[in-house]
Amino acid sequence: MSSNSSIEKKYSRWIVLLSVVIPVAVAVLFFVKIPNATPLPVLPPIYATINGITAVLLVVAVWAVKNGKIQLHQNLMKTAIGCSLLFLVMYIAYHMTTPSTKFGGEGSIKYVYYFILLTHILLSIAIIPLVLITYVRALAERFDKHKKIAKITFPLWLYVAVTGVVVYLMISPYYNF
């Protein structure tokens, strides 16, 4: 077995574990409120901005790799992953300390909002293993496999990042702080 294959094998359990644990933890923690916690209404615009930054990082990273700027691509992708982790921590902190906000729009905009929200949530779960597999394949220098899965991961991750901003913009008028 090559050392590259052993890198992929080494991380495969972590990929499966994180791909299950993160969505389950977020789902559970979404309903757990810290008693007497100070609400954190400042977080949604911050994590929406982080989603926007992630989207820009992803686009620039693809541009970088297509133009042979491999080190820049690697740095941008690591930063995008870091932004996603930062988003996740803030998102959990917000929902554990602050009451949920109901979308107040009516008519067809309500269906648009819920469609965007639902696809955002479902794809945010799906991209966890995709991002991790894509990253590990690059780490293992399996660039043929990395490129193949990156063609799937990139548009889905970009959609999640952009729709995170859209969801925030659509619900922000209904925050009660």
The CATH number covering residue 41 comes to 1.20.120.80
pTM of the complete model: 0.93
Whole-number Cα distances in Å, 118 to 6, 124, 129, 164: 37, 10, 19, 11
Domain that holds residue 32: 3-174
Q: How confident is the model at residue 100 (pLDDT cuts 50, 70, 90)?
A: confident
Nearest CA among 73, 44, 80 for reference residue 168: 44
Token pair listed for 159: 């959609």
| Number of domains the chain contains | 1
Instruction: Compute the average pLDDT of residues 128-141.
Output: 96
Query: Is the confidence at residue 124, as pLDDT, over 80?
Result: yes
Q: How confident is the model at residue 30 (pLDDT cuts 50, 70, 90)?
A: confident
Token pair listed for 116: 């965007």
